[in-house]
Amino acid sequence: MRVYDKNFLAKSWPYGPNERMSPILASSWWAPILQTAIGGVIGGGAIAGGAFGSWFNWQKERQAIAAALAGEVEAAKSVAEFRQFRPIIESCLESTKAQGKLVYLRFSFDDHQFPVFEQNVSKIGFLPQDLARQVTEFYSYARSSVQDLRTLYNQDLNDWPLPAAIGFLESMIKAIDACTGLAEALVPRLRQEAARSWEHYFGLK
């Protein structure tokens, strides 16, 4: 059996005979550690809260852009139908072919046909990828049609060779048809996206 020196504990004890060991929570080095830990939790919560706030704002802006674009696309389609661009151009084309002489009408129009798209073109990426592609495709055709109307208004097609003028009018009809088809498919998608709130992402609706 091992025998310990009775003075062993006294020799190895770091405190004096009348000193007590302080509880760990009262030690001088605990406070900074506790403050750091609490600060990390609070800071992490603030970052998470800020990230959610940014995501929430992005969702609201996505809805607003989808709704505004839906309105603009539908309005463009309605204006084209009201002003009868396609029927008039088609009638002129038929008369031209029948008479062997160019017949056409000019249309006046606003230079800025698509203010919503122009002001939000940098935010189209807020929409889902396939929907953003549809939006871009529609406006590509729509702006091409506007450019054709501008050409029709500014230039005298009588100075063109007749086959070139006929080809131009035919291409205008094709572009208008393409715009109409794209608009009919796009507007319901945009309205659906505008109605899809952030709750849908979490399965709450």
pTM assigned to the model: 0.70
State which H helix or E strand residue 124 sits in. Answer: none
pLDDT per position as a tens digit, 85-95: 999 999 999 99
pLDDT of 147 reads 92
Question: pLDDT band at 45, cuts 50/70/90?
Answer: low
Q: Rounded to an integer, what distance in angstroms lies between the CA atom of residue 103 and that of residue 125?
A: 43
Output the pLDDT for position 110.
75
**What's the confidence (pLDDT) of residue 55?**
57
pLDDT, mean of residues 23-29 = 49
Nearest one of 126, 135, 133, 137 to 196, comparing CA atoms:
126
Most confident of 8-12, 32-36, 77-81: 77-81
Encoded tokens for 30 = 């605990």
Which tops the pLDDT comparison, 198 or 46?
198
Q: Hey, CA dihedral for 132, 134, 136, 139, is it positive or negative?
A: negative
What pLDDT, on the 0 to 100 scale, is given for residue 24?
Answer: 45
Least confident of 13-22, 35-44, 76-85: 13-22
Q: Say what percent of the chain tops pLDDT 70.
A: 68
Query: What pLDDT does residue 201 have?
Result: 56
Instruction: Summarize the confidence of residues 41-51 as an average pLDDT.
Output: 53
Mean pLDDT over residues 63-80, rounded? 95
Q: Which residue has the higher pLDDT, 184 or 18?
A: 184
Residues 102-150: pLDDT tens digits? 999 998 877 778 999 999 999 999 999 999 999 999 999 999 999 999 9
The rounded radius of gyration (Å) of the Cα atoms in the chain is 37
* pLDDT at residue 8 greater than cutoff 60: no
- Looking at residue 74, its pLDDT comes to 97
Long-range contacts of residues 66-70, Cβ cutoff 8 Å, at least 24 apart: 66/127, 66/131, 66/190, 66/191, 66/193, 66/194, 67/190, 67/191, 67/194, 68/116, 68/120, 69/116, 69/117, 69/120, 69/135, 69/190, 70/186, 70/187, 70/190, 70/191, 70/194
